[in-house]
Amino acid sequence: MFSSFMLNAWFAGSIVAVVAGVVGYFVVLRGATFAAHALPLGTFPGAAAAGFLGVNPLWGLVVFAGLGVAGISRLGRRQRADVATALTLIALLGLGTLFLSLSGQYAAGVYGLLFGEVLGVSRADLVPVGGLGLVCVVVTLALYRPLLLSAVSADLAGAGYRLPGWLNLAFLGLLGLATAMALPVVGALLVFSLMTGPPALARALTARPVMALGLSVALALATIWAAIALSYQSNWPVGFFVGLLAAVGYVAGRVWRVVAGRGATAAAYRFG
């Protein structure tokens, strides 16, 4: 499980989990789960375009993530946020279909981009993944206070910071960069799971922002580590375990909130 070729999987998975835990906390807090679902799906065709052009797939992912962010931000000024996100996703998927049809030799790699290839990560892949992950975490922590205030109250954030529109664009940029970085590791269909399951469970367990953020990272790490270990033992896809554990964690969080809420109500009734 800890042989040389597996070490790259552990390192890459850990990097992705930390980024997903940090950025995903604000995804859940700001109610941006649809964007977190659409951006990975709209970004993965960028790797197809990169394959067609003969460049590193990671740069294609980053470019398409930028296109997705620009589309959502631009259309969001005139349309509802969900409509803008859906229109952007449709346009990017259409481009992805074109590039896949033009580049037949890349079709075999689509499965990896959809469901992840954490066991296929090479040592050379760790450098760009780690660099992009570090940028995501540092910028998110630098914007921690305005992101938190804008999630609680847009008016309060606008009173304390002059550029609330720029703040939303910066957050979408962080989300796009995080998904582009995580896509080769956990896949387009599972970035969403890792960015919503552990953070949602963290929010259910505590209302303190700093503690919830740290717990979100810890739960994301536990999810990816458990998924890699279970995949190694069972020879089943890592993505299956990531999605399953994230879903189970979310359900557990909902149950906990219901039980805790009933306990608080009963205590208030007994001693009120």
CATH of residue 108's domain is 1.10.3470.10
Q: How do residues 8-21 score in pLDDT, each as one tens digit?
A: 888 888 998 999 99
Q: How many domains does the chain have?
A: 1
Contact status, residue 65 vs residue 92, Cβ threshold 8 Å: no
> What pLDDT is recorded for position 272?
44
Model confidence, pTM: 0.79
Say which residues have a Cβ less than 8 Å from residue 67's Cβ, sequence separation at least 6: 42, 46, 92
Q: How do residues 153-191 score in pLDDT, each as one tens digit?
A: 655 544 444 555 677 778 888 888 888 787 777 777 678
Domain that holds residue 110: 4-271
| Cα distance between residue 39 and residue 195, in whole Å | 12
